[in-house]
Amino acid sequence: MMRAIGTSGLFVLLACVAFGQPAAASRAFDVASVRPSQLAKSGGKIDLRESVEPTPGSLTMRKVSLSSCIQWAYEVKRYQVSGPGWLSDERYDVVAKTASPAKEDELRRMLQALLTERFKLRLHGEQKVLPTYALVAAKNGPKFRESETAGEPAVKVSKLGVTAERTPMAQFADLLAGPLRNPVVDRTGLQGCYDFTLDLAGFPAFGKKEKRREPDDDLIAFVSGALQEQLGLKLEGRSGPAEVLIIDHAEKIPTEN
- 214-229, pLDDT tens digit by residue? 556 778 888 999 999 9
pLDDT of residue 35: 95
Higher pLDDT, 69 or 156: 69
Interatomic CA distance for residues 78 and 244, integer angstroms:
10
149-178 pLDDT, tens digit per residue, is 999 999 998 878 899 999 999 999 989 988
- Interatomic CA distance for residues 244 and 257, integer angstroms: 30
| pLDDT confidence tier of residue 74, bands split at 50, 70 and 90 | very high
- Name the pairing type of β-strands 51-55 and 58-65: antiparallel
Query: How far apart are the two ends of the chain, measured CA to CA in Å?
Result: 28
Q: How confident is residue 26, by pLDDT bands cut at 50, 70 and 90?
A: low
Cβ neighbours of residue 191 under 8 Å, at least 6 residues apart?
none
Residue 212, pLDDT above cutoff 60:
no
Q: Which strands make up the sheet holding 91-97, listed edge to edge?
A: 31-36, 91-97, 58-65, 51-55
What is the average per-residue pLDDT within 184-200?
Answer: 94
Q: How many CB atoms lie within 10 A of CB 230?
A: 16
241 falls in which pLDDT band (50, 70, 90)?
confident
**Mean predicted confidence (pLDDT) in 60-72:** 96
Output the pLDDT for position 116.
97
CA-based angle 112:51:147, to the nearest 5?
A: 105
The per-residue pLDDT for 220 is: 84
Name the burial class of residue 97, with classes exposed (0-12), middle (13-18) and buried (19+) by CB atoms within 10 angstroms of its CB: middle
Average pLDDT over residues 196-204: 82
**Band (3; pLDDT cuts 50, 70, 90):** very low
For residue 254, pLDDT over 50 is answered with yes
Strand ranges (DSSP E) for 142-191? Answer: 154-158, 161-168, 184-186
Residues shown for the chain: 257
Average the pLDDT over each of 58-67, 98-107, 199-208 and give the range with the smallest value. 199-208
Q: What residues contact 105, with CB distance under 8 A and at least 6 apart?
A: none
pLDDT band at 257 (very low <50, low <70, confident <90, very high): confident
**Please, where are the H alpha helices in the chain?**
7-16, 66-74, 86-89, 104-119, 169-180, 217-226
Confidence bin at 201 (pLDDT 50/70/90) = confident
| Rounded CA separation 9/6 (Å) | 5
Predicted confidence (pLDDT) per residue in 85-135, tens digit: 999 999 999 999 999 999 999 999 999 999 999 999 999 999 988 888 999
Return all residues near 141 (Cβ < 8 A) that are at least 6 apart: 232
Q: Across residues 29-36, what is the average pLDDT?
A: 96
Summarize the confidence of residues 32-47 as an average pLDDT. 72
Average pLDDT, the chain: 84
62 vs 40, which has greater pLDDT? Answer: 62
CB 136 within 8 A of CB 187: yes
State percent of the chain over pLDDT 70: 81
Determine contact, residues 248/116, Cβ cutoff 8 Å: no
Q: How far is CA 82 from CA 6, 67, 203, in A?
A: 18, 9, 26
Instruction: Quote the CA–CA distance of 230 and 227 in Å, as a whole number.
Output: 6
